[in-house]
Amino acid sequence: MSARLSHLNDKGEARMVDVSDKAVTSRTAIAEGFVAMAPETLDLILEGKAPKGDVLATARIAGIMAAKRTAELIPLCHPLPLTQVTVDFTPSREPAGLRVEATAKVEGKTGVEMEALTAVSIACLTIYDMCKAVDRAMSFSGIRLVEKTGGRSGDFHAR
């Protein structure tokens, strides 16, 4: 851990980090989250019978779009020329719900962790929006960075 927060200047004021001297490297980030829901809601999604349509396709597109707009949503993030964003879903019966995983890639001077985390967050919110008419008790948990590669700080793998 750095003893100093990189987004603060010497006066403690917020700033965008200067990455102009950093090398361009291949960077990847993987994030995950979980949407807990009633078993019946999961069945509706998996059978393609949700009232608002194809939940997973819509959530996938929403997550990809969100990753591309991260710099507009998170105040000190650099806009990045993403080379790939994927959003995938794994159903779970116990507990009932969907694991959401997003991968973001870039050839750049700064990492893509925020883009992967934003993709997961918005995909989870989209699942809720698409299914709230049948299950307002859905909840999100475990949104976190799972892995990141590239850059000066090296690789990270969550335990």
Enzyme catalytic residues: 129
Give the helix ranges, DSSP H, for the chain.
39-46, 55-68, 70-73, 113-131
Cβ 50 vs Cβ 130: under 8 Å: yes
- Kindly compute the dihedral angle of the four CA atoms of residues 107, 2, 78, 11, in this order, to the nearest 10 degrees: -150
Contacts of 14 by beta carbon, 8 Å cutoff, 6+ apart: 7, 8, 75, 76
Question: What is the DSSP-derived secondary structure letter of residue 14?
Answer: B
